[in-house]
A and B are shown apart, each in its own frame.
Chain A
Amino acid sequence: MADTPATPLTRAEKATAKRARRFDNPWLNPKLIWGASLLLGIVALGIIGRLLWNLELVFTGSSLLKIPPIGFENLRGQAGTLANPVGTDGAGRDMLALLIIGAPNTLFVGLMASMIGMTIGIVLGFTAGFVGGRTDDTIRVLSDVMITIPPLLILVVVQSVFGDVSLTLMSLLIAGFVWQSPTRLIRAQVLSMREAGYVQMARLSGASTSHIMFKEMLPNLIPYLFGSFIASVTTSIVTAVGLEVLGLGPQRVPTLGRTIYEAINAGALIQNLWWWWGLPTLLLAVMFIGLLLVNLGLDEVSNPRLRKL
Chain B
Amino acid sequence: MTSIPLAYLKNRLITLVLTILIAATLIWIIPRLSPVDPAEIALGRMAAGAGSVANSEEILAQLRASMGIDAPLIVQYARYIGNVLVFDFGISTASFPTPVSALIAQALPWTLGLMILSLIITFIIGNALGAFMAWDRTPKLARVAIPAAMVFTSIPPILSGLLLMWIFAAQLRWFPLTGSYGLNVEPGWDWSFVASVISHGTLPALSIVIVTFGFWALGMRGLMISVQGEDYVKLAEAKGLKPRYILYKYMIRNAILPQITAFALKVGLLIAGQVLVERIFAYNGMGKLLYDAILNQDFPVIQGVSYVIILMTALSVFIVDLLYPLIDPRIRREA
Contact = CB atoms under 8 A, between A and B. Distances in A.
Interface of A: 141, 144-154, 156-158, 160-162, 181, 234-235, 238-239, 241-242, 245-248, 260, 264, 269-270, 272, 274, 277-278, 281, 284-285, 288-289, 291-293, 296, 299, 303, 305-306, 308-309
A284 B317 CA distance: 29
A235 B269 CA distance: 8
B290 A241 contact: no
Interface stretch (B89-97, B120-128, B179-187, B293-301): B293-301
18 contacts: A149-B268, A149-B310, A149-B314, A152-B275, A153-B275, A154-B310, A156-B306, A160-B302, A161-B30, A246-B279, A260-B158, A269-B162, A270-B170, A272-B171, A288-B156, A289-B155, A299-B222, A309-B134
Given A145-B18, A235-B269, A246-B291, A150 B309 contact: yes
Nearest to B293: A160
Contacts of B22: 145-146, 149
Contacts of B303: 157
B225 interface: yes
A246 B276 contact: yes
A281 B276 contact: no
B154 A289 contact: yes
Nearest to B303: A157
B90 to A, nearest CB: 14
Contacts of A157: 26-27, 30-31, 302-303, 306
B84 interface: no
Given A150-B268, A278-B166, A306 B225 contact: yes
Contacts of A296: 218
Given A157-B302, A274-B166, 15 more contacts: A144-B15, A154-B27, A156-B294, A161-B36, A234-B154, A239-B272, A241-B156, A242-B276, A246-B290, A269-B170, A277-B166, A288-B159, A292-B151, A293-B151, A303-B226
**Residue from B26, B156, B170, B295 whose CB has the most chain A CB atoms within 10 Å:** B156
Nearest to A140: B15
B177 A238 contact: no
Contacts of A156: 290, 294, 302, 306
Contacts of B310: 148-150, 153-154
B269 A150 contact: yes
A293 B150 CA distance: 11
Nearest to A270: B170
Contacts of A162: 34
B152 interface: yes
B99 interface: no
Contacts of B114: none
A239 B272 CA distance: 9
Please report whether the interface of chain A is mostly helix, strand, loop or mixed according to DSSP.
helix
B280 interface: yes
A224 to B, nearest CB: 14
A271 to B, nearest CB: 9
A284 B225 contact: no
B208 to A, nearest CB: 14
* Closest 4 pairs (CB-CB, A-B): A292-B154, A150-B268, A153-B306, A152-B272
B313 A269 contact: no
Interface footprint category on B: 35 or more
Nearest to B265: A147
Contact of A272 (B159, B170, B295, B309): B170
Nearest to B287: A246
A284 B159 contact: yes
Contacts of B290: 156, 246
A245 to B, nearest CB: 6
Interface in B255-284: 265, 267-269, 271-273, 275-276, 279-280
Nearest to B144: A309
A238 B156 contact: yes
A149 B23 contact: yes
Given A154-B23, A157-B302, A246-B276, A281 B30 contact: no
B64 interface: no
A303 B229 CA distance: 13
A285 B297 contact: no
B199 interface: no
Nearest to A260: B162
B269 to A, nearest CB: 7
Interface string B155-175: 110110011011001110000
Contact of A285 (B155, B269, B280): B155
A85 to B, nearest CB: 22
A270 B31 CA distance: 37
B96 to A, nearest CB: 19
Nearest to B28: A157
B186 to A, nearest CB: 26
Interface string B294-326: 110101001101100110011001000000000
B15 A141 contact: yes
Contacts of B302: 156-157, 160
Nearest to A147: B265
Given A153-B272, A161-B299, A241 B143 contact: no
